[in-house]
Amino acid sequence: MNTFRTSSPTPATTSVALTRILAVGSLLGLIVLGLAWELLLAPLRPGGSWLALKVLPLCLPLAGLLKNRMYTYRWVSLLVWLYFTEGAVRAYSDAAPGNYLAMVEVFLCLTLFTACALHVRLRLKNAAKAVDPAIEPTTPPATSHAKPAH
């Protein structure tokens, strides 16, 4: 029975690398958009508002995405729906230019979710392929009621 396994991780495919770039890019886009929106482009109050602090939770997963941690991709795909909801509500309730910025936020959220979901799926698929196919499954004995030899 061959139990040799390599200790090196599976090489990243181009699609995994692309989803990583999309995830990091859309997360950075959400951070920049949130700051620019609430401080410069269309703040709730002239001169900016404290609502710019809404981007702080988005800064937490940035390190995990850059370190390519699978767990971070999973929970970011859940966190992003809070920002999607805000964007959807403000797209219909804010006046221009706030509603256009909200539509950009919705687009970035959908991109981030899709990239994270695909990234996790592709990495799990690649990990399953990396399992050594030379390992043979154990077969049960021919008869299950055999008497032990004396």
**Each residue's pLDDT tens digit, 20-73:** 999 999 999 999 999 999 999 988 888 888 888 999 999 999 999 999 999 999
**What is the C-alpha separation between 114 and 111, in angstroms, rounded?**
5
What is the average per-residue pLDDT within 103-107? 98
| Percentage of the residues of the chain whose pLDDT score is greater than 90 | 67
**pLDDT score recorded for residue 127:** 85
Output the CA angle 17-22-26, nearest 5 degrees. Answer: 155
Whole-model pTM? Answer: 0.77
Region for 15 from its dihedrals, namely left if φ exceeds 0, alpha if ψ lies in -120 to 50, beta otherwise: alpha
Whether the predicted pLDDT of 74 surpasses 90: yes
Alpha helices in the chain (DSSP H): 14-36, 56-66, 70-93, 98-130
Distance CA(79)–CA(20), nearest Å, equals 17
